[in-house]
Amino acid sequence: MIGLGYWGPNLIRNFSDLDDAQVVWCSDLSQDRLNKIAKRYPGVKCTTNYEDLLRDPEVEAVVIATPVSTHYPIAKAALERGKHVMIEKPLADSSEHALGLVDLARRVNRVLMVDHTFIYTSAVRKIRELIDSGDLGEVLYFDSVRVNLGLFQKDINVIWDLAPHDLSIMDYLLRAEPIAISANGASHAGNGIANIAYMTLRFPNNLLAHFHVNWLAPVKIRQTLIGCSKKMIVYDDLEPTDKVRVYDKGIVINGSPEKRYQTLIGYRTGDVLIPKIDATEALLRVAQEFISSIQENRSPLTDGVAGYRVVCLLEAAQKSLGANGSEVLLTDLKAVESASPTMAAVGG
Amino acid sequence: MIGLGYWGPNLIRNFSDLDDAQVVWCSDLSQDRLNKIAKRYPGVKCTTNYEDLLRDPEVEAVVIATPVSTHYPIAKAALERGKHVMIEKPLADSSEHALGLVDLARRVNRVLMVDHTFIYTSAVRKIRELIDSGDLGEVLYFDSVRVNLGLFQKDINVIWDLAPHDLSIMDYLLRAEPIAISANGASHAGNGIANIAYMTLRFPNNLLAHFHVNWLAPVKIRQTLIGCSKKMIVYDDLEPTDKVRVYDKGIVINGSPEKRYQTLIGYRTGDVLIPKIDATEALLRVAQEFISSIQENRSPLTDGVAGYRVVCLLEAAQKSLGANGSEVLLTDLKAVESASPTMAAVGG
Amino acid sequence: MIGLGYWGPNLIRNFSDLDDAQVVWCSDLSQDRLNKIAKRYPGVKCTTNYEDLLRDPEVEAVVIATPVSTHYPIAKAALERGKHVMIEKPLADSSEHALGLVDLARRVNRVLMVDHTFIYTSAVRKIRELIDSGDLGEVLYFDSVRVNLGLFQKDINVIWDLAPHDLSIMDYLLRAEPIAISANGASHAGNGIANIAYMTLRFPNNLLAHFHVNWLAPVKIRQTLIGCSKKMIVYDDLEPTDKVRVYDKGIVINGSPEKRYQTLIGYRTGDVLIPKIDATEALLRVAQEFISSIQENRSPLTDGVAGYRVVCLLEAAQKSLGANGSEVLLTDLKAVESASPTMAAVGG
Amino acid sequence: MIGLGYWGPNLIRNFSDLDDAQVVWCSDLSQDRLNKIAKRYPGVKCTTNYEDLLRDPEVEAVVIATPVSTHYPIAKAALERGKHVMIEKPLADSSEHALGLVDLARRVNRVLMVDHTFIYTSAVRKIRELIDSGDLGEVLYFDSVRVNLGLFQKDINVIWDLAPHDLSIMDYLLRAEPIAISANGASHAGNGIANIAYMTLRFPNNLLAHFHVNWLAPVKIRQTLIGCSKKMIVYDDLEPTDKVRVYDKGIVINGSPEKRYQTLIGYRTGDVLIPKIDATEALLRVAQEFISSIQENRSPLTDGVAGYRVVCLLEAAQKSLGANGSEVLLTDLKAVESASPTMAAVGG
């Protein structure tokens, strides 16, 4: 385990609970953090130099939860030492670095996984199941709000911090290729780092996705509306149990040209269903998936390519942000992707 | 009263309750609607031809609640007959028409008012009061969501239908001149009329405003976040009484360069205050303001210029919507404004 | 219409909207209230003496919304004049008076209806439908909370004011005969009139009903939990649309004696369903039912006997309240009931 | 640590985080539970026989989180061995046993503490602070609801399981001596153990307290209304941060006899304040208090007498439950209390 900031201890706890994994080394620049871990997990070795654990031949896999800018060099070193690697979201600080890791992992035949935690929540899985069942019809829009009074990061803006969650959820649920992205935002801390941002993704067939991420909001909101042609979903991650609601609501389009224009669009309002969601902690599933994919020598559900796709979107959003929200076409993304034939194979 | 659709009967009810006003004529193309009004208000004359009431010299003032495209010709005719005029939002279907009405009202020295109802709610007034008191500090962003499974209009899109509410609230609270607007949206009813849209307004000094309007949402949301430098506001119009919440939350920026970078931004979390809001119906205040401005021969709070400003924003948003969200500079707006010296006087 | 306090104008509005009814007379002791009605309904005759309208042979039916203590004499006078009578809840100020009205209405063959409004809401009807379908299983308990900062009545306590709503809902949904009632409460206004009270009704077979009514609560709560053996219901009347929720939750009792004692009771948690509830105003249905029962010469859904049952419970609760919550057996109730053979016929 | 059921592991975690405490022994009848603890805390000794740890002279203090019926014998043995003792709520299964422990602890001069966890929450402390400040005025009623689909206990009913929380909160906040208690309930699992219950406590001066505890509710509710003469409080423990709301609402009693009776009681509605509540885990404070009271050789905040008072109320409620809700006078309680002069000293 490299990096014991906010997320690292949670990862250690979950890996510790697995029968097939053993946490043997922890690394962090802060001796204070290492001491805390050592007190709670007496058997774990600690170091301020992550090279120590990369050097240890007994270490088969490495989990990286360090600041984003260090993901690439650390993951690269780990893969080169033959370790399997799981990295906190986002996978890397640039699409070039993300792609570099994907390619390297292919070459050394090691698992590269990104911790897109929400993909492993019961709520997101249930929504995917509902979409796949066809009951919801075609997805028309995806609207996501993730705001609160959050930690102002010093090295990345709010898009790189929060949007990976929502972009990975969207990517997992929609499985559609966006045409273009635009982003607007503002910085209020005097350091030029955006703390509020809005992103719009345009897709073919009038599909629209929109994201509001915000570190400077008075209340915590984590709500996603998914408008579909037959039913609609409200996914509220703050609800303790009733996270997903399926509304049997929508419009009925009557194409009959004889009818009066006013009656072309009718409304439909029916029952609301709140499906039961099981309470397994997503991070435990993340840990399990990493271990299983190593044991089974397969791509994990959230593999390097999934991480790469999200980084491409972040990068394009960043570009749009710097250009007052001008659309950035995502054809570049596909160009890069096709330049890496190995990746497509992994993605498949 | 011209136009007895959804809003007209509410206006009649409120004008009827005023001592200084008397509803004498109602006009609508539908005899059915007229009959309903006649049953409830036996003394009111009814007609399917609004010219009848314009012709009546006893009619001093006219309230227009007809489809948007008819606002201009009806209001023009009424002003030309020397009637005072109140028009449902938005004031007109184009900035040119809006400006035409403003100019005409000036020339004939009659009151021209737009029914920006929310400006008359106790909640919006309380927020303005809080901003004016200086307690909130500088406004940093304005984020508004107004979505539900609403009536799909046949002649205007969701921006023209719902955004006038939020734009007028923003205009009233912020009193700042936006630099540019961009809008994205989609149409899902097969008629090319956007039923979901997002708008971003860019202002000087990193002030940002954003709007989500949506006719195809499974739930009703009417929530505005107003982020300020000292405190922040959540305005939830669906709360029966606790509509405005003032959060003593924010960040503290420590400019001391000696301190480590991480500590430059601190967090502040204090009490939440829900100020008492009185329960007077906004529409009654609208009716009162129209009557009072006539009696006092003055500009109403929401005069033609306020209506014009909102129409300019709607028009620019529409333009951006047709150009995949490209920013539309609002310098044009100011150019037009300065071309009309009389209006500035009214606005002052 | 006799009595133009809080509820009277709502009744007038709804009766006015009916095709088969015409509001011809209004009576109230306050000339001020009469003037307001006269302004809005110019055709209606007004009087401060309700005898005027009882004397009018054109008046076929009378609606009484006066203070509770006057229900009996006014209704008696109206029935004796041959008018059909609808009375605001509670039917009368004592079981003796309630029974007197039931008997009198039978003798003069006129409709006697009590306005138990909630019985006519779509939510309560939907719950009854769910219970009747058998999907919920057996009802185990009924827990009702109706509290807010309400008007302190001067002539009746909070039980007589608020509990008729909940008792009538319970009576309609459970259709079970309670064994005993107990009530506790307190008076904080220095006048000895209880402003907070709790009532418990004991039924055969471990069925329990409990009521909390309160005029001195900081928040408005109108929530009923209905625990059943298969599913459970939360009925929240303050929800704008999602008033009824059906929880597929409960316990499974495993009677197998071989199993370890701990596993005798298992838990079941499934989906939640929020059925669609139509939005018809209950009071319109009340008005329709009164008119229809007159036209069809039949007992209305909430007839005098239903009103009598509720008054009996109120009276017994009052008795218990005066005895520090000692249980009052409701066998007395049945004794009285059987003393009135005609009522049973009506009830049946 | 004796007893590793639901609560035990939480206690271990919090004691482990204290600098002045070391968890040296764990005891539970289940080897499986012991193994789980041993995996997470490798240094802790485990045993299925709690005598092992009582025998260890290095053990200074014992925490007991076993089934209620075993509290007395285990705590007695521990005190007799000279250990300080903290016991999960409720302190014991009878007032006699509770009193026995209080007396024994006095004799051996050891700390006896009961884990009334809620007394250590920031929310309850804030409410006490508000009451003590005088801002709320006199407390008029205390209404508590604690319901959910909870674990059906096999040895105790819902009152003994859930009500200790609410009774201890009430005892801490009100510091008033109740006159009498009554309780009603029902058992739906066929084993005669009540799973739903209502309790009413009568105090002098029209103060009323009421409790609803329920294992068979479809939703989780943990809400307490505290009505006071000047302001009122809603304490909702399920709110993540805004747990306490102070409503500036109430009635104004105008005693002037000249005024008309209707105007004797006026309404007051003002702002709502949600005070900031700090987020310290209550159980950490519980652990700290136990250690501190040992170090400082003093009574802990929730001492044996506090535990005894709650057990007396539970016992009286149980008695009333068996008598169809007949009031049980609490004078017995005081009689017992005065029979134990030492306890009064501890209580002071």
pLDDT in tens, A144-158: 999 999 888 888 999
For residue B191, list chain A residues with Cβ-Cβ distance below 8 A.
264
For residue B275, list chain D residues with Cβ-Cβ distance below 8 A.
271
Which amino acid appears at position A324 of this protein? Answer: N
3-state secondary structure of D222: strand
Least confident of A36-45, C3-12, D77-86, D266-275: A36-45
- Helix-, strand-, coil-residue percentages of chain C, each rounded to 5: 40, 25, 35
Rounded to a whole number of angstroms, the distance from the CA of A139 to the nearest CA of chain D is: 32
Q: Among the residues of B150-197, which ranges form H helices?
A: 158-174
The beta-carbon neighbor of A232 closest among B191, B218, B261 is B218
Q: Is the dihedral of CA C113, C117, C118, C123 positive or negative?
A: positive
Do the chains contact at B182 and A184, CB–CB below 8 Å?
A: yes
Residue where the block lists tokens 């209006």: B343
At C190 the pLDDT is: 86
pLDDT confidence band for C343 (50 / 70 / 90): very low
Looking at residue A148, the DSSP 8-state letter turns out to be E
Do the chains contact at A16 and D40, CB–CB below 8 Å?
A: yes
Q: What is the pLDDT of residues B131-155, one digit of tens each?
A: 999 999 999 999 999 999 988 888 8
Predicted confidence (pLDDT) at residue C69 exceeds the cutoff of 80 = yes
Q: What is the arithmetic mean of pLDDT over C118-140?
A: 97
For residue D275, list chain B residues with Cβ-Cβ distance below 8 A.
271
d(C-alpha C227, C-alpha C28), whole Å: 43
For residue A276, list chain C residues with Cβ-Cβ distance below 8 A.
248, 269-271
Q: How many CB pairs under 8 A join C and D?
A: 154
For residue C271, list chain A residues with Cβ-Cβ distance below 8 A.
273-276
Q: What is the pLDDT of residues A318-335, one digit of tens each?
A: 999 999 999 999 975 554
Least confident of A57-66, A115-124, B107-116, C332-341: C332-341
The beta-carbon neighbor of C42 closest among B43, B220, B238 is B43
3-state secondary structure of D201: strand
Mutate to test the interface with D, among C148, C161, C210, C231 (most CBs of D within 10 A): C210
Which amino acid appears at position C60 of this protein? Answer: E
Predicted confidence (pLDDT) at residue A341 exceeds the cutoff of 90 = no
The number of beta carbons lying within 10 Å of the beta carbon of residue D134 is 9
For residue D239, list chain A residues with Cβ-Cβ distance below 8 A.
none
Do the chains contact at A274 and C275, CB–CB below 8 Å?
A: no
For residue B42, list chain C residues with Cβ-Cβ distance below 8 A.
42-43
Do the chains contact at B141 and A265, CB–CB below 8 Å?
A: no
pLDDT confidence band for B328 (50 / 70 / 90): very high
The number of beta carbons lying within 10 Å of the beta carbon of residue A140 is 22
Give the tokens for residue D28.
Answer: 């539970």
DSSP readout, D32-61?
HHHHHHHHH-TT-EEES-HHHHHH-TT--E
d(C-alpha D191, C-alpha C147), whole Å: 34
Q: How far is CA C115 from CA C64, C72, C145, C278, C300, in A?
A: 10, 15, 20, 20, 10
Residue C130: phi and psi, rounded to 5, are: -65, -40
Give Cα D89 to chain centroid, integer Å: 6
List the Cα angle A162/A164/A165 in 5-degree steps.
Answer: 75
Query: What are the residues whose beta carbons fall under 8 Å from the beta carbon of B288, sequence distance 6 or more?
Result: B18
Classify strands B216-228 and B232-236 as parallel, antiparallel or unpaired: antiparallel
At C334 the pLDDT is: 55
d(C-alpha D177, C-alpha D171), whole Å: 9
d(C-alpha C308, C-alpha C92), whole Å: 8
Higher pLDDT, B346 or A206: A206
Among residues D44, D70, D72, D76, which one has the least CA distance to residue D59?
D44
Predicted confidence (pLDDT) at residue B333 exceeds the cutoff of 80 = no
C-alpha R_g of chain A: 22
Least confident of A50-54, A191-195, A309-313, D328-332: D328-332
Nearest residue of A to residue D13 by CA position? A40
The beta-carbon neighbor of A274 closest among C272, C275, C276 is C272
Which residues of chain B are at the D interface, by a Cβ-Cβ cutoff of 8 Å?
A: 242, 248, 269-276
Predicted confidence (pLDDT) at residue A345 exceeds the cutoff of 70 = no
User: Tens of pLDDT along chain D (348 residues)?
Assistant: 999 998 999 999 899 889 899 999 999 999 999 998 888 787 899 999 999 999 999 999 999 999 999 999 999 999 999 999 999 999 999 999 999 999 999 999 999 999 999 999 999 999 999 999 999 999 999 999 999 998 888 889 999 999 999 999 999 999 999 999 999 999 999 889 999 999 999 999 999 999 999 999 999 999 999 999 999 999 999 999 999 999 999 988 776 555 544 546 888 899 999 999 998 899 999 999 999 999 999 999 999 999 999 999 999 999 999 999 999 999 755 544 533 433 333 332
Cα pseudo-dihedral D153, D156, D157, D159, rounded to 10: -120
At D256 the pLDDT is: 58
Give Cα D26 to chain centroid, integer Å: 24
For residue A145, list chain B residues with Cβ-Cβ distance below 8 A.
145
Do the chains contact at C262 and D154, CB–CB below 8 Å?
A: yes
Nearest residue of A to residue B211 by CA position? A198
Domains and CATH numbers, chain D: 8-116+282-303+341-347 (3.40.50.720), 119-273 (3.30.360.10)
DSSP readout, B242-256?
--EEEEEEEEEE---
Residue where the block lists tokens 């014992």: D62
At D244 the pLDDT is: 98
Rounded to a whole number of angstroms, the distance from the CA of A238 to the nearest CA of chain D is: 10
The beta-carbon neighbor of D43 closest among A42, A238, A240 is A42
Query: What are the residues whose beta carbons fall under 8 Å from the beta carbon of C178, sequence distance 6 or more?
Result: C201, C202, C203, C209, C313, C330
Nearest residue of C to residue D263 by CA position? C154
Least confident of A22-26, B19-23, B164-168, C328-332: C328-332
Q: What is the pLDDT of residues C202-241, one digit of tens each?
A: 999 999 999 999 999 999 999 999 999 999 999 999 999 9
Predicted confidence (pLDDT) at residue B342 exceeds the cutoff of 80 = no
For residue D262, list chain C residues with Cβ-Cβ distance below 8 A.
154
List the Cα angle B238/B240/B244 in 5-degree steps.
Answer: 75
Peptide bond into A67 cis (omega under 30): no
Mutate to test the interface with A, among D12, D40, D241 (most CBs of A within 10 A): D40
pLDDT confidence band for C345 (50 / 70 / 90): very low
Rounded to a whole number of angstroms, the distance from the CA of D135 to the nearest CA of chain C is: 15
Least confident of A86-90, B9-13, D7-11, D257-261: D257-261
Question: Partners for B (CB, 8 Å, 3+ pairs)?
Answer: A, C, D
The beta-carbon neighbor of B271 closest among D248, D269, D276 is D276
Give the tokens for residue D58.
Answer: 């290095």
3-state secondary structure of D332: helix
Query: What are the residues whose beta carbons fall under 8 Å from the beta carbon of A15, sequence distance 6 or more?
Result: A1, A21, A23, A63, A287
Rounded to a whole number of angstroms, the distance from the CA of D314 to the nearest CA of chain A is: 31
Do the chains contact at A261 and B140, CB–CB below 8 Å?
A: no
The beta-carbon neighbor of B42 closest among C42, C220, C238 is C42
The beta-carbon neighbor of D216 closest among C212, C227, C324 is C227
Indicate the pTM of the whole model: 0.93
The beta-carbon neighbor of B42 closest among C43, C238, C240 is C43
Strands (DSSP E) along chain A, which ranges? 25-27, 45-47, 61-64, 84-88, 112-115, 139-149, 180-186, 196-202, 208-214, 216-228, 232-236, 244-253, 265-274, 328-329
Do the chains contact at D273 and B273, CB–CB below 8 Å?
A: yes
At C338 the pLDDT is: 39
Question: Partners for A (CB, 8 Å, 3+ pairs)?
Answer: B, C, D
3-state secondary structure of D238: coil
For residue B12, list chain C residues with Cβ-Cβ distance below 8 A.
none
Which amino acid appears at position D231 of this protein? Answer: K
Q: What is the pLDDT of residues C93-121, one digit of tens each?
A: 999 999 999 999 999 999 999 999 999 99
d(C-alpha B321, C-alpha B186), whole Å: 9
At A288 the pLDDT is: 97
Predicted confidence (pLDDT) at residue A336 exceeds the cutoff of 60 = no
At D57 the pLDDT is: 95
For residue B324, list chain A residues with Cβ-Cβ distance below 8 A.
180, 202, 327
